Amino acid sequence: MNPAYKPIVEPFTFPSGVQLKNRVLMAPMTNSSSHEDGGVSEQELDYYRARSGGVGAVITASSHVSPEGKSFVNEIGVYDDSLIPGLNKLSGTIQRQGAKAILQIYHAGRMASPELTGGKQPISPSAVASERPGSVVPREMTEEDIKDVIKAFGEATRRAIEAGFDGVEIQGSNTYLVQQFFSPHSNRRSDQWGGTLEKRMTFPLAIIDSVKQAVAEHARDPFIVGYRVSPEERENSGITMEDTLELVDVLAQQKLDYIHVSVRGFWDGSMRDETDTKSRVLLIQERAGHRVPVIGVGGLSSPEDVNEALNTGVPLLALAHAIIMEPKWIEKVLNDQENEIRTTLPRTAQKDLVIPDALWNMLLNVSGWFPVV
């Protein structure tokens, strides 16, 4: 291995005590390859198996904690005990290759698709639709709804523990329900769950408490609890970077194992103000990195890219597109084969890259998403 890449393969220990063998994780990415009921499929197992040999940890695609919280066709489910055997196959498949297995858990809220939930109206903090085309006006959640979802996150965590996962990542980003409670665009409530910035944090903190309670009750071994954030929203009444830094201050007090920053590019500045060019990841690292580990992500492809990002002080990095195009990314760095790392997606490479049919079709048909050749 090139000695210059040594920082990439240094081990890292989370606050919980779980150790990663290196600083690179596989980022959570939708693959739409589970069974209709959310059960894990053989194609999905093959896909994760191929990508779990080198990275320190795999964060799975989002798994919905409630049947009505689903936004993608054929996504992983963690809403019922009947799904535990399949989830156990998934965790074991990842771990046998040498990576830690982290299950991302979420509820889509107003982003849920009625076509996938039996025609049910989506739920959200307030009856405010997303500004995306074709969005459905959600039903404002009752107190009972809120308590049910909080409980569902705890139950999902219990199932993840029983299925053998090393941790869970709370999906507090990407416009889904946990973020919807923090956002002034989607949360117009005036009760204990909304209004001020502090009250908009109440639901995310209740989710964290529910997850941590499940860990305390059911985990026999150290168990990772992470939280993913989206720093900003484009909507005029949406989340600002200042809001997120306030949230990060509070998250840093929750004894989490990490905060995972969800951005398109590691070095990208504000999506709200083009004159603000400071990396959102670095702003969060500077604000809270001395109190809680930060995971950066976004547009990192080569070992040089990853090294440069690690040199900022961000301790962990998640690779997304790079791991899709090159399942053996870490192995090739270790074996002096970095010049052989794929940076494009050949149309003939589905079998070699072990990509499920549904995901493969998305990769080829979404214009500009991947460098297809």
Going by pLDDT thresholds of 50, 70 and 90, the confidence category of residue 236 is confident
Dist. CA 33–CA 36, nearest whole Å:
9
Kindly report the average pLDDT of the chain as a whole number. 97
Average pLDDT on 112-129 reads 96
Give tens-digit pLDDT for 262-294. Answer: 999 999 999 999 999 999 999 999 999 999 999
The half-sphere exposure of 332 on its side-chain side, counting CA atoms within 13 A, is: 18
DSSP secondary-structure letter at 372?
A: B
Dist. CA 48–CA 127, nearest whole Å:
38
Domains contained in the chain, CATH given: 3-365 (3.20.20.70)
Give tens-digit pLDDT for 294-321. Answer: 999 999 999 999 999 999 999 999 999 9
Is 258 an active-site residue?
no
In sequence order, which ranges of 2-101 are alpha helices (DSSP H)? 42-51, 84-96
Give tens-digit pLDDT for 132-179. Answer: 998 999 999 999 999 999 999 999 999 999 999 999 999 999 999 999
Q: What is the pLDDT at residue 79?
A: 98
Q: Which of 47, 79, 176, 258 is labelled catalytic?
A: 176
pTM: 0.97
- Residue 77 amino acid letter: G
